Amino acid sequence: MDQSTEQIILEAATAQFAAKGYGGARVEEIAEAAGVNKATLYYQIGDKAVLYGRVLEELLGSVADRITAAVAAEQEPEQKVRAYVREFAACARERQSLAPILMREVAGGGANLPDSALIQMGRIVNALDQAVRAGIASGVFRDVNPFIAHMLVVGSLSFFNAGAPIRARVAASQGLAFQPEVNMNHDEMTAQLSAMVLGAFRNA
């Protein structure tokens, strides 16, 4: 099997895992979406667990590569944090499977999360950890927990992207007593989140 066919299988699997989770996804449906039979999928990649691991490693690895490079390219701690928020937001927007898969794994306690995926997640966390610690060391940031900062950014952006259909229903409804301003776009969300995060970090 050439690389392009393997990539088609991984893309089909990513879509199924994002839509149905690990438990709900079926190898037969993934194979059908990829245009191969189940035996070929098993022979070339492996069983469902192996396939899921490959999907997560590729998905999270690409996010980690992009964020790490963007953060490293900046010199000042505040700009590093802005780069982290900006690039994770861009990844979540461009890779629509990212937020659903992350949220399903968190909700399920990471029961199906392989070590290879945890390594890539660690790289994502570490990029912000280094930026925040540099800011603390230079006196720009207060003494904040970098992991809480990571959860604030990733949690907010994941919820924002995964919740798009719900926001659309709220925005379209005329009968809801509570209608917050939910029609912000990704750029507005990213800018406001960066401002809120940095406002919380800055040393008064």
Low-confidence ranges of the chain (pLDDT < 70): 1-3, 174-182
pLDDT of residue 2: 52
Over the stretch 12-45, which tens digit does the pLDDT of each residue have? 999 999 999 999 999 999 999 999 999 999 988 9
Backbone phi, psi, residue 140, to 5°: -75, -40
Q: Which residues pair with 62 in a beta bridge?
A: none
- Alpha-carbon distance of 134 to 128, in angstroms, equals 10
pTM recorded for the entire structure: 0.88
pLDDT of residue 186: 87
Residue ranges covered by each domain of the chain: 1-46, 56-201
pLDDT of residue 43: 86
Burial class (CB in 10 A: 0-12, 13-18, 19+), 133: middle
DSSP letters of 43-86? HHT-SHHHHHHHHHHHHHHHHHHHHHHHHHT--SHHHHHHHHHH
- Alpha-carbon distance of 194 to 202, in angstroms, equals 12
Quick one: fold of 1-46?
Arc Repressor Mutant, subunit A (1.10.10)
* 56-201 homologous superfamily: Tetracycline Repressor, domain 2 (1.10.357.10)
- Alpha-carbon distance of 1 to 45, in angstroms, equals 10
